[in-house]
Structure 1
Amino acid sequence: MPGLTFNKSHFQFILAMRKPLRLSGIVTNLGLLIALTAIWIAFAPTLIGGRASYVVVQGNSMEPSFHRGDLVIVQAASTYNVGDIVIYRDAELRTFVIHRIIAMEQDHYVFKGDNNSWVDTYRPTHAELIGKLWIHMPRLGKAMEWLRLPIHMGLTTGLLGGILMVSMIKPAKRGRRKNNPTGSFGGMLEGGLYLFGFFTLVFLALGIFAFIRPLTRSADKIQYQQESHFSYSATGTPVIYDTEVVRSGEPVFPRLTCFLNISFTYNLLGDPLQGVAGSHQLIARVMDEQSGWQRTIPMNQRTTFTGNSFFSTSTLDLCQIVSLVNTLKQETGLRANSYTLEIITQVVMTANAEGNQIVDSFEPKLVFRFDEVHFSLSAPKGQDDPLYLSKQSSANNSNLEANTLSILGWKPAVLTLRMIALLGLVFSLSGLSIIGIRIFTTSQQDQEAFIRLRYGGLLVNIYERNLVPPSMLIDVTTIDELAKLAERNNTVILHMTVNFLHCYLVQCNGITYRYVFSNGRRGVVEIESPRQEIIEYPISANQNNIVEAQPDEEELFGYVISKSRIAKAEVEQTVILRKIRL
């Protein structure tokens, strides 16, 4: 079999196919996996249990900070403050709105666009808030809108799939051993190292995340709802009305009837509320919105109540209201086309809930617009039904409860996460310790397996056992030194087996560096030309010029271990020092 030589181009090609595996590379890959997992948890959409919501800006109400086509990512928050940019769902417009909180009215939030001169008419509650601004990506929303089109999504998916398939196609490795238990052993240890290292980083990150969170937190706010319903009636004239009674929603004419009967119903909804009590009073307020004039008239005395509901009635003299306005005109000369009459129920409520004292107020209004001729029902600002008002309220809860974290829709307790993290770390570190012990044992018992495990990315197996003799051969003391030479010269380590010997070679600049061992002992083997290629030149007895190449004392010839042709190789104990004569 002819000799085999490796030049620099061969080494560069092999290096391009097989990169060295180092601890830093393992840590980098594990760190990348952890980073990808953290990114997924942070950016997972709410539709699949995540915390992030993605909205594309469609208007100009938030310019110059936000423009049409920008992508906004928000995350749900437990509290929202004045000045926060928040996305909420407008039930009236049936769309999502991104505006800034400018005020809070009890449990409702007041919003306004930075580029608007008016305040949003809709007052969302905490439950209607989608999330607080987290990340703003200018113009990226246009790209997402482009991807929403089916044809664009199909083209993009096909392109990415093609790139992935091409990247997965790898040329078949040539010269691989069919049965290589050593490589399988190294692969198992390497895979285990990756697996347990990954779990160690995951549980370590989980532990840090869990231990910086408190075990308890303040209990959720106590939710309750107050409802009110107004109704009114008056004596009617069959010629003017359908019946003899003026019903809620119909206009009232003072020339036909002066007295308006007002009825009010109150309900308090909330399961944890106990010991509900309070007081209420009806008042009438006449006002001119343009001049700011107003006059308050009590309709009854303040009355106490107990329980979750009460019913109240009172009568208002509309003719007295008209007379009051006429007196205002005569005395002040004020002329207005119309005035406003507000009938307000002032409710003060107290209750107990889970050991917490709750005190709240509620002031629903029944509003009329009137002039000298008639009173007509009007809806208060921000209220759809002029007769019905509902107020969602909440109270602080001084109790403590187990703190929880939201992970892709799962809300485990912090204590549970701490226990999982600790047990996971024990399991992962135990696995790493077992692998470390196995590697140490391997290094002591099977040096070839240890070398393959440590420098598997640098090794190239060769099967030609006859190499062209190098111009210079140098033995190194350890495999580590040989690996340093391979990395320094950007080459690979050639590995071949000569009977029971494992020979590792590095060729560079005409010099061959070698490390040989067998059964835990270092050995030396000489790379020589095949026997059939040795040509013996006969020397004539009459020839005078005979040149004998005597070995130099500093020159290393090595030892030749003869190959046995029987199945079981035996070590030749005789050391042959061969001199080559020319």
Structure 2
Amino acid sequence: MAAILGMAAIGAWAVMTDRIGYVVTQGVSMNPVYYQNDLVFVVKADSYQVGQIAAYHGKSPGQRVLHRIIGGSGSSGFVMRGDNNESTDLLTPTTEEMIGRAVLRVPHGSIWLKPLLGPSGIGMLTFLVISGSAMTARTRRDIPRGRRKKRVKAMSSGQTGSWASAAAVYKAVERLSPMLRAAAATAASLLLLALVLGVLGWMKPVAERKAAARTPAQSITYAYSAKVPLSAAYDGTTARSPDPIFRRLADRVTVNARYDGPAGTFTLTATLTNGTGWHTSQTLVKTTAFTATRFDATVPLDLAALVARADEATAAIGSGPKGQVAVGLVAQVTSPGLNNLVAPLQLVVSPVQLSPGQGAKFVTETDTTAPDLVVAREITVFGHSLLTASQARSYAFLALLGAVVIAALVLFAALRKLPVRTRAEIERRYPQLLVHVEPMASPPGKPVVNVDNFPALVRLSERYGQMILTWRRPEADDFVVRDEGITYRYRVPLDGEPTLQNVELIDQSAAGKHRTEASPVS
């Protein structure tokens, strides 16, 4: 028992420290080595080699990929590929990221593993282990009505059949040593734990989809305007974006960049280019911190000055267009906990006008609609996360295995304490002590001690170094031990119920018989 419990403890340590794991194969990527629904056990190793089949965690929570190592190294990452795949895996796990290498395959093992570890399977095993001893009751033989009246019942009429056997097992457990009783309590606790973890682990899939947290809305909006004289070119005295600004009417433009969203810092820069590869940058608004949910930045643009700066570069280069320049505005907002928001806007200044560049975007905003996330399902109690569903399944299997091992040991010890009731049980348990003889009468004038249980007769046999003589009578089976003129007898009637008499001394003589009561033999 100590050896088995030690092995169970080692197994518990191996599973809880992820030294041992299992993979249920899906698909055909490892044909013909593994097939659909195979159960493969893996053991974590300190190093792996090319050619070995190993498992690693996939992209989805709870996913385990079992493929062959075809290249790479443990430090930079192994190159993995299924034997039936043409392409290699996208992930390159390192030694630390490996679950383990394959050591044992159970063909189609998941077919019985899933129902065994499901809530119904664990519940059924719990019921069978707890009530299994009640199934050992033997169907009693039919006996004549007259003889049945002579039988002395060992239990009350309400404790017959399986209930009587269950009560006998319970009493046998009570007679066990404190260590075995503690083991029985441990087995019951592990069965309950396996049932709870099995229900929690298998009631839903190991992964679940959760809506990603919506990020706060952010936007940057550009606008430009210019004061123009009243003319046929415009309907009023102000020209606004996205209409062109004709330089003959206005050569100064006001640009406004408005930000809406969480507080942070704001920066606005401009980059001048002329199509030759030349460029220069100017800071229009230095990095400015703000605390409100809106920030406005308004800057003037002198179109003549910008064109003059580009013409100077063209003259220095010796080639390039004159009288025009492209102005690239870039506004950037940095908010704590959010990605930087960058909004570009291209303006083209020609000798005739200022106009937006091709595909110019005046409004830039963040996308607040995030796709659902696939995360490992967690088991929570009162808002506190205890473990994932995948871990619950593994621990349920471990608890069930430990409970079955311990319960089997306790049940075996309890059954050895059960009283034997039939000749078949006695012959099966104590064949080395029995000697079958013809029926014989007790010696005249010698006492006969009726023993109320067979183990007591066995102890008398061992104490006196005598074999147990046995024979059959029409009404019962007799088992006797003779020593120093005393006959110790245990009698089993043919209906299978042992007699529960007090010890009686029978003095047989030629003149007659008389009976004297004595204390029981234990």
TM range (shorter): 0.3 to 0.5
Superposition TM-score, scaled by structure 2 size: 0.40
Greater relative CO, 1 or 2 (CA 8 Å, sep 6+)? 1
